[in-house]
Amino acid sequence: MDFSLSGEQRQIRDTVAEFVDEEVVPRAAEIDETDEFPADLIDEMADLGLMGMPFPVEYEGAGLDYHSYAIGLEEISRGSGGLGTVVAAHTSLAGNMIYEFGDERQKEEYLTALNTADDIGAFALSEAEAGSDVPAMSTTAERDGDGYLVNGGKLWISNGSVADTVTLFAKTDPDAGRKGISSFVVRPEEDDGFVVEGTEDKLGDKGCPTAELRFDDMWVPEDRLLGEEGEGFVHALKTLNGGRITIAARSVGIARAALDEAKSYAQQREQFDRPISDFQAIQHKLADMDTKARAAELLMHEAADLKIRDEEYIKEAAQAKLYASEISREVANEGIQIHGGYGYTKDFPAERFYRDAKLSEIYEGTSEVLRNTIAQQLLDE
Ligand SMILES: Cc1cc2nc3c(=O)[nH]c(=O)nc-3n(C[C@H](O)[C@H](O)[C@H](O)COP(=O)(O)OP(=O)(O)OC[C@H]3O[C@@H](n4cnc5c(N)ncnc54)[C@H](O)[C@@H]3O)c2cc1C
């Protein structure tokens, strides 16, 4: 395995890192406090090509490979975990659904507008009674003339209240289990019956609105179906496999931010007439934090590298996301501990890193579900 980044990947990392240090880090506390979608930052990011990183230039994407995109997303998440989710839901999920499974017209029309961030994307799979158990979904899309009549609702949809393009999963054949699920492009502004019920008040991941959506006799034209009827479950799984690499990247970004902050605090905070970084107990915490973050980063790079080489990466992506999300929470926890009492307050970002890190263990496959996936792959090998 070649562990080194290519010249282009280094350049992307450095360019995004510079933008994040100048524009995102100074805004991160405010985004966390207000929980407002940072539309102006998104526009700036679109100008830099950061809202359509892995898609071809013919659709106004940045033309990067998926590995480079994950590197960019790690940097963005180092600045703000909420912004990391905004970009991941928009790109890895909504954008990728259209890029992988859309026809030429759908790509030209919907993917292009996502890549320029003229439109914001969301991916609507989960429901109140169907989270991990996707086939238990109850949203239906019934044939109606030259379109479909959609009824039901979705829960916890990242970007859901600000999205212009939503990739939606619904049952076209409710008796066919997972084979009865289809995927669609839905346009909230155009499709009557699309209702945003509200947004969640969450522990962290602020700035990325997590919405509850409802569909009341929402008519969707048939040219918005992605691929063929009945392919939706496979679309979801394939998209989430790739998405997990970028949630691993988000987790690593947050872990690195927590480590950087804790290290700098430990070097300037004095107790017993010396910096607390002189104490071996603190040094060992920093050593473990760095070791875990680096191990997670390597798993993420490996999964991303397998993906761009068109090799099997389901297990590796699940492992990268599982490990990175768990160590991200652990590293952020130690970050708070190193800050002592200050770490528990909002005077320092340590507690924000902890709240943001936690989410990665839940969405795009909980840690428990990922362990099931990994075990299944392992036993099938
Ligand atoms: C902030 C946020 C943003 C999100 N964004 C999106 C989004 O953009 N789009 C979208 O579609 N969804 C999104 N989700 C939903 C998310 O993917 C689900 O919450 C997740 O898949 C888990 O589903 P659930 O919450 O229904 O939990 P459940 O499936 O009810 O699980 C509850 C517990 O049981 C465990 N469990 C369930 N099944 C098994 C099993 N077979 N084996 C072992 N343990 C099991 C779980 O691991 C968990 O610990 C988001 C969620 C949050 C919190």
DSSP for 205-229, written as a single string: -TTS-EEEEEEEEEEEEGGGEESST
pLDDT one-digit tens code per residue, 109-155: 999 999 999 999 999 999 999 999 999 999 999 999 999 999 999 99
Q: Quick check: 31 and 38 in contact, CB under 8 A?
A: yes
3-state secondary structure of 121: strand
Percent of the chain with pLDDT over 90: 98
The residues spanned by each domain of the chain are: 7-120, 122-229, 233-380
pLDDT one-digit tens code per residue, 114-125: 999 999 999 999
Q: Quick check: 259 and 189 in contact, CB under 8 A?
A: no
181 ligand 1 Cβ < 6 A: no
DSSP 13: H
The CA 367 to ligand 1 mean position distance, Å, reads 9
The CA 128 to ligand 1 mean position distance, Å, reads 10
For domain 122-229, is the CATH number 3.90.180.10?
no
Q: Hey, what are 301's tokens?
A: 């790079």
pLDDT one-digit tens code per residue, 317-359: 999 999 999 999 999 999 999 999 999 999 999 999 999 999 9
The CA 257 to ligand 1 mean position distance, Å, reads 26
Distance CA 159, CA 375 (A): 32
pLDDT for the residue 2: 66
Question: In degrees, to the nearest 5, what angle opens at C-alpha 207 toward C-alphas 206 and 209?
Answer: 90
Mean pLDDT of 193-197: 98
125 ligand 1 Cβ < 6 A: yes
Q: Can you say how many angstroms the Cα of residue 317 is from the centroid of all Cα atoms in its chain?
A: 13
Question: In degrees, to the nearest 5, what angle opens at C-alpha 39 toward C-alphas 38 and 44?
Answer: 100
Average pLDDT over the chain, rounded to an integer: 97
pLDDT for the residue 115: 98
Per the CATH hierarchy, to which homologous superfamily does domain 233-380 belong?
Butyryl-CoA Dehydrogenase, subunit A, domain 3 (1.20.140.10)
15 ligand 1 Cβ < 6 A: no
Atom of ligand 1 nearest to the CA of 129: 26
* Residue 1 pLDDT > 80: no
pLDDT one-digit tens code per residue, 236-263: 999 999 999 999 999 999 999 999 999 9
> pTM of the entire structure?
0.98
Mean pLDDT of 23-41: 98
pLDDT for the residue 90: 98
205 ligand 1 Cβ < 6 A: yes
130 ligand 1 Cβ < 6 A: no
Mean pLDDT of 70-90: 98
The CA 237 to ligand 1 mean position distance, Å, reads 14
* Residue 167 pLDDT > 90: yes
Q: Which of 355, 366, 371 to mutate to test the pocket of ligand 1 (most atoms within 8 A of CB)?
A: 366
CATH of domain 7-120: 1.10.540.10
Q: What residues are labeled active site?
A: 364
Atom of ligand 1 nearest to the CA of 158: 8
3-state secondary structure of 195: strand
- 342: exposed, middle or buried (C-beta count within 10 Å: 0-12, 13-18, 19+)? middle
Distance CA 364, CA 318 (A): 10
Q: Quick check: 321 and 247 in contact, CB under 8 A?
A: yes
Residue whose CA is at the smallest distance from ligand 1 atom 32: 132
Q: Which of 138, 186, 190, 128 is nearest to 160 (CA)?
A: 186
The CA 361 to ligand 1 mean position distance, Å, reads 9
pLDDT for the residue 3: 72
User: Which residues sit opposite 275 in a β-bridge?
Assistant: 270
Distance CA 230, CA 310 (A): 25
Mean pLDDT of 28-47: 98
Same fold, 7-120 and 122-229: no
